[in-house]
Amino acid sequence: MKATICALGLVLLVLGDAAPAADVGTRLDARRQAPRHPTLFLSHRHTVDASTIRVHDGDTFYTGRETIRLRGIDTPELGGPGGRAAAIRLRALLHEGPVTIVPRAQDVYGRTVADVYVGGRDVAGLLRREGFGKPRGR
């Protein structure tokens, strides 16, 4: 009887530890799918037609299933001062012609961080020069 209880206790101890370990593995797999830190994104430059673009805010837009975050500028959020104006200006710039996207990384939200050009002009640079970027803190 003592041997049976010891064996049962050993089985429970082993199985009891297995469940949390499986849970940890599941969490680790989820972290691999959605990186917490920006990762290098090695993809080729591609050009999309302006008609396929939907603007989210002043520094983010969608083309097909891809979410693009402009590299080199951070504009105000839509609800903040200047946010709507930045989104309107980005929409106008992107609809001036074919849009070339040069992926550079993937951010923590899964967006493609990219250099974006319209007619050979750097969109983020234009928005910065026109005053749409948030002031940088020191």
- The CATH number of the domain where 49 resides is what? 2.40.50.90
User: 117 and 88 in one domain?
Assistant: yes
Task: Average the pLDDT over 106-129 and give the result.
Answer: 96
Residue 19: pLDDT band with limits 50, 70, 90: very low
In this prediction, what percent of the chain has a pLDDT beyond 70? 67
Domain count, the chain: 2
User: 62 and 44 in one domain?
Assistant: yes
User: 107 and 79 in one domain?
Assistant: yes
- Check: pTM over 0.75? Answer yes or no: no
Kindly report each contact of residues 31-39 with a partner whose C-beta sits within 8 Å and lies 24 or more positions away, as own/partner.
Answer: 34/108, 34/110, 35/106, 35/108, 36/108, 37/108, 38/105, 38/106, 38/107, 38/108, 38/113, 39/105, 39/106
User: 119 and 77 in one domain?
Assistant: yes
User: 99 and 46 in one domain?
Assistant: yes
pLDDT in tens, 76-95: 999 999 999 999 999 999 99
User: 47 and 112 in one domain?
Assistant: yes
- Whether pLDDT at 15 is above 70: no
Q: Considering the domain boundaries, does residue 134 fall inside one?
A: no
Residue 111 identity:
R
CB atoms within 10 A of CB 16: 9
Q: Considering the domain boundaries, does residue 25 fall inside one?
A: yes
Residue 20: pLDDT band with limits 50, 70, 90: very low
User: 112 and 79 in one domain?
Assistant: yes
In which domain, by residue range, is 58 found? Answer: 39-129
User: 93 and 77 in one domain?
Assistant: yes
